[in-house]
Amino acid sequence: MGQEGPTTYRLFELSGRPILAVPERPRRLRLRGIDRFQPYTPRRGAYRAIMRLAMWLRADGLLGRSTRSLPTPAPDFDIARWLAGIRDRLEDPGLSAVVVWPSQPQRKRVYAHLFDEACDAVGFAKIAFDDENQRQLDGEASTLRGLETLRVGGYHTPRVLDVTEGEGVFTVIEQPLPDDARPVRRGDSSYPEAFVRAIAGPARSAAADEIRRMSWWSDCEQRLEGLSPGFARRLGSGLDSDGARVCRVHGDLGCANLAATRGGETWVLDWEASRADGPRLADPVSFNLDARFIRSTRDPRGFARRFGAEYVGGVVDADSTEIMLALAFRSAVGSKSAEICIRHWDAVCEGAS
């Protein structure tokens, strides 16, 4: 499988943008590929259901088109040459790839689920096409390698199988999820406190000048100036006065980055935002914003007030500076709910009081 000349893919698009490409043969691989495709939006979820049904009815040729070249952020990228290199590195000449595009078209990356000749998943590849994405993926690989010896009952982090640069791209290949693993739904899970505590280790105090030299601070600072200069000034004043506690954080902890197996094991995914010196409350704040609140701009002050009442008001071992710093950290990686709380910090305080 995958060795008899160039592979023909069946490419599926939504609103004119590619979302999934599966090898046309064998049919079993198409079915395994659609099972691995995890939609990021309800619209993609609905389309996935339609694609799966069409594949079972052998009618998916009506939805997808046949092609040997796939659209990527780099027009000269050749998926066949890339896959040939991966086969050599993993010493598996029978590897095939199911390609997935991110929901944000501006992101300079694609993903590939790797399957062996038995159509079993053997790896998950993240492919970066620019320096920023390479930096993020390289950081994720370093973090995961550092966590390989960590053992926390009921939790698992993927192993890094390979890191390589070639064909003009940077690739990180990770251990695939078990076949029965499914994303955790919002509201169906509790905060993984034991796991977060284990990766964090003892928090240490950092003065304001040290925090402002940390790798993530400049992104926070730029973001805050555009969101709320008043919040930025208040956070800066709090740091100057008391500093803050820092530790290892996941950085983007939410239900979308947790997958549960039927055996009760939870896989913790997507470590690109992880930092060894992140704000101590970044992960609990991230999880609470993601899991307990609807991301909506219809009532931003009410949203911020609920966050203050349901989370901030219950944190007894942290002052407002640490919570503000966690929100700033989250906003720098694109959290809309953190941005709402920053813009309406007075409502957060009102809810907490």
Contact 21, 9 (CB under 8 A): yes
Average confidence score pLDDT of the chain = 91
What is each CA distance from 299 to 212, 284, 294, 306, 353, in whole angstroms?
33, 23, 10, 11, 20
What is the model's pLDDT at position 1? 46
* Confidence label for 5 from pLDDT (cuts 50, 70 and 90): low
What is the pLDDT, as a whole number, of residue 75? Answer: 84
Tokens of 213: 């030299």
Q: What is the CA radius of gyration of the chain?
A: 22
What mean pLDDT do residues 323-334 have? Answer: 94
Please report the pLDDT score of residue 23 as a whole number: 95
Q: Does residue 148 carry a pLDDT above 90? A: yes
pLDDT digits (tens, 9 = 90+) for 224-276: 988 999 999 999 999 999 999 999 999 999 888 999 999 989 999 999 999 99
d(CA 106, CA 141): 23
Give pLDDT, residue 314: 83
- pLDDT recorded at residue 185: 77
**Omega before 6 cis (within 30°)?**
no
Q: Which residues pair with 165 in a beta bridge?
A: 170
Give the pLDDT of residue 2.
Answer: 44
The string of pLDDT tens digits covering residues 121-131 is 999 999 999 99
Query: CB under 8 Å to 16, separation ≥6 — which residues?
Result: none
Predicted confidence (pLDDT) at residue 295 exceeds the cutoff of 70 = no
Given a cut of 60, whether residue 4 has pLDDT beyond it is no
> CA nearest 27: which of 52, 62, 63?
52
> What is the rounded average pLDDT of the residues 51-60?
92
With a cut of 90, say whether residue 304 has pLDDT above it.
yes
Among 195-204, 286-295, 318-327, which stretch is predicted with the lowest mean pLDDT?
A: 286-295
| Adjacent-strand bridge partners of 10 | 22, 66
pLDDT at position 146 over 70? yes
> Is 99 or 106 the better-scoring residue by pLDDT?
99
Whether 72 has a pLDDT exceeding 70, the answer reads yes
